[in-house]
Structure 1
Amino acid sequence: MSAPAPQLNAAQRRAAARPVLLTLLSLAIVVLAGWAGFSASVRQGTEALRAESNHQLDLFASVVQGMVRQLEYVPATLQLHPEVLALLRQPGDGARAAQASSYLRRLNAHLGSAAVFVLGERGQVLAASEPAVLGEDLSFRPYFLEALAGRVGRHFAIGVRDGRPGYFVSHPVHDGARVLGVAVIQISLEPVNQAWSLLGAPALLADSNQVVVLSSRPEWRYTALTDLALDRRVDLQLTRLYGEQRITRFPLQVDLRVDEDSQIVEGVLPEGLGQAGARSRPGATRGVLVLGRTLDGMDWRLLMFTDLQVVRQDAVRASFLAAVSAGFLLLLGVLVNQRRRIVRQKLMANRELEEKVLLRTQALSDANRQLRKEVRDREQAERTLRNAQDELVHAGKMAALGQLATGITHELTQPLGAIRTLSANAVEFMRRGELETVGSNLGILARLADQMGAIIEPLKGFARKSQARPARTDVAVALGNALFLYDQRLRKECVQVQNAIAPGQVFAWCDPNRLEQVLINLIGNALDAMRDAPERVLRLAAGVQGEQAWVTVHDSGSGLAEAVKARLFEPFFSTKEAGVGLGLGLAISRDIAREAGGELEADNHADGGACFRLSLPLPPDDTP
């Protein structure tokens, strides 16, 4: 039969687990270093890419504004030409229309614009550089409506006849204060499409409707960056700004932040760009940096999408390098520490052997001294605690006597008055020689003295300061003495006492004075609890159960709340007003009960009110 495996103590288990913990800690440091290198590289690379992309974006925005806005002034100059004004004054004159169209063709050829035309008050094309649009009704176009209202109109639109996209700029033609017509120039956007390669990244131009009108990716054109409301879609169909194109949702969810002062647009897409411009599968790339500008005077937004895949790849390399460096430093530290440990162990081996016996001997001596000191301290603490408990019990007695002083004074006042009167009468009767009457008065005086002694006698033992000495104690007698102290208060507050305890029935093994102190405290608390009750009934009962005698004090108050019941026996906890009691009565009472071998418990009675149950051991000769 094989021998059982030896059990390892706590130190051996810790020593065996230390290499595993050091290995896990080293791995955690390496991973943390790699993550720190990755995060720092991503942050630095993103900032560098953002700076470079912003520079490219600024240059491209300037190029786009130069291409598109360089001919915006032309419609304002057309009203200066006499042939245009003459045509608008006489719209039906064919000769003037031909002359104005000829002028517009020459002007368009000189400027290199897509088209130049003039509209009448009703939106009909009266003269144009392109004969195909003559007579066309363009009253539904927004740029015509804005110019007819006296404002300069700037809008993207697709040509009605040629279907070519363009940037339309309109200007009202005035004859004095009256608007005779509208001059319009269509600026071609084809140069912008040819300049996308300058950015080196996917980009787009969105108009004021948040619709992509130009893009380096054809599949992005005529998509909306945001969801268009139904009324907005209806307006776009009526104005036919985008011809017959169906406006769909932009394939990427772009959440952008716009700086109102600089008009800089910025955002990050959590996923990359697919080859066809749609959202790629997760993990294909590691995000896209979105940068943009709002073009001055056009209310157009230029957005550029820069893939962060290169930044992430550089960050992975930096992370690997940081992890390897951290691992190398850790390994170097382990080697140095191991070398130092070996040297230190060699130097300390002999010293440890010599000191081990001395340390163990010293430890045993110190333990013995400490043990003796703890025994003395514990004995002193027990004496101090016992004395403090005696002082608290005596203080409670004195407090109860102070509260009963008024009632006792009232009880003694009447006998004293009677003694004073009878003694004066006795003197007078003696002077008269009526000795029989004097004897009668002296007998009454003796009875009054006995009555005063009966009042004072229970207080003498109660007020006496003494240590706890268990004895065979009649519970009914102790309860009677406690009720006697509250006699005046019971009558004053009209409390009905239902006492079911008769002398000589229930005995307990405890100190009589301390039992009275506990009962006085419980009865006083019961009277306080019934102060505002409509019916004041104090029910007292006692009996024997097993090896314990029990006493219950049941009041007709409102009972104990759950929060109060949980803290009822905590020292200094009280539900009374500030300055009324210290909150030590119940705590001391329970300590007295436990010191005698019993218990004090509290709960709400089924008939209402609070019920306190005091359990005490039976005298030795009463034990079943």
Structure 2
Amino acid sequence: MAFDGRLRYSAHMVPTLAHGRAYVRRHALPLIAVVVLTIVAASVLRLYAHRQAVMGLQQDAARIARQEERLLGSELQRFRLLPIVLVEYPDVGDALRNGSVAAAARLNQKLRGLAERTGAPVIYAIDRHGRTVSASNAGQSDSFVGRDYSFRPYFRQAMRTGTAEYFALGNTSHRPGLFLARRIGLASAPDGVIVVKVEFARMVQAWASDAGHTLLLDDHGVVVVTTDSAAEFTLIRPLTPAAEATIRQSQQFGDIALRPCPYRIAGQNATDREGVRYVVGATPAPLPRWQLIHVLPSEPALKAADGWVRSVTALIAVGLIGLALLATWRRTRAERAALAREALEDEVARRTAELRASNNRLTVEIAERIRADQRFRAAREELAQANRLGSLGSITAGVAHEINQPVAAIRTLADNARTFLSRAKPDKAAANLAAIVELTERIASIVQEMRRFVRRGAHGLGPVSLDAVLDGTMLLIGDRFRTAGVALERPNGGALPQVMAGRIRLEQVLVNLLQNALDAVADSPSPRVRLTVTEQPDGVQLVVEDNGPGLDPAIASEIFTPFVTGKPDGLGLGLGIARDIMTEFGGVLETIPSGLGGAGFRLRMRRA
């Protein structure tokens, strides 16, 4: 019996063990598949996420580089106007030609005031031998007066070609900066050079608000301006022997030893000495053969991408485990549930594919909208710049005509005075000379107004006289009205009130409105434009109206919207800019019915 019992026990155990092994295989294989699929999905997602993160960083780095290049170009353009304006100062030529102490003292005061108003660190005049005769820091411990700068390349180049822009470490102040130089006098007989130094401390502070670091490279590959102090005055590439000799001879960087840059840049990627990886955005700087580079660390973006991958992988793993458990549970049920199980799996697969396709379409649409927005912003900035340059061009033409008339009169009076002197008639000659003085004062007032209009970047608010604003506006565009034969009616009956505004920007608004009115009445048989000032309990109103055809009803309600214009060749930016300026003043620019039958615009301003 024992033998038979053992046989029965063994025979019972064989199918039981086989069933156990099949059970283990049936449950282990789905789990193994879940693990494998999760690892594969994580690897694919990680590659995708890292690629997208790097592409996003490259776009951000390029965008920041372009943005900072535009900021640098705007700052340089503001200072590049100073040497051009200073060439017209008569005291500059007197101080350089005659060596007069009094002329140098007067020029010191003018340069000091100009430097304070513009924010230039120092402005100075060098005679033709290279000696500084006048400077905005005269009388200070670091005064440039009396110093010899004939060895500086910017002095030699300006004397030779007329202009020069040169970056160097200050020989006296030991602060780096860009020296903008312009020759005074003719190339055959130069009087000297006027120099404006530009420092970049404020620019670096503005750049520092962006993520990453910015490097400004000169034509030799030297990092001259940067937000990373460790990279300042380092070399992005080795110097050639000729460049090294030139830098040493001109003392461009003083005693500073130029060492290799801590960033090793290769295309759009870079690493530092610690092995930290960066993404690079580069753009040409607004100086010959200079380059602006912006580097963004890639590690934060890659960590964020890894976090996203972990989250998505966990969701995928949970989903796969759920599917595996569901499949295992379904397989243990009767055959009658097989069709339902297959239908459910097919539905899950179909919906997963639909969601993935929808997600891909949304990703493409979002990227396209971002690119369209970037193109729109760039186009709007270009159009605004074109509008400003066009207005400045028409004003310059009118002012040139205003100056030509008194210049012609001065020549005639001077010839007559010479004739009277030769005939021993000093009284008549003196009368001609007095008339010449009055005409030169007229020219000086016109030129001063033009220069003030060019410096319209100041944004301060304060009490402004409407009389002075109207006089300045007429100096700029009065010639256009007289040439076109258009009557401009100005307010009469005493002094006009003062308002809270910025004079130059308020003149810009009036110039824009008056030019539009002048264009509107061009075909009118008896053109008229009228300015009216009315004092109200809550402020001051200034109305500009004309007897032209008026505003087109189709665009009247959107006349202040950018790119909406009634002119065939207009950009549609002027009125929008004018309304923004009035809003900054705390005032209003609006359209009103014109008492003359054409278009009317009303400026409401706060009383000073």
- The TM-score with structure 2 as length reference comes to 0.46
TM-score, scaled relative to structure 1:
0.45
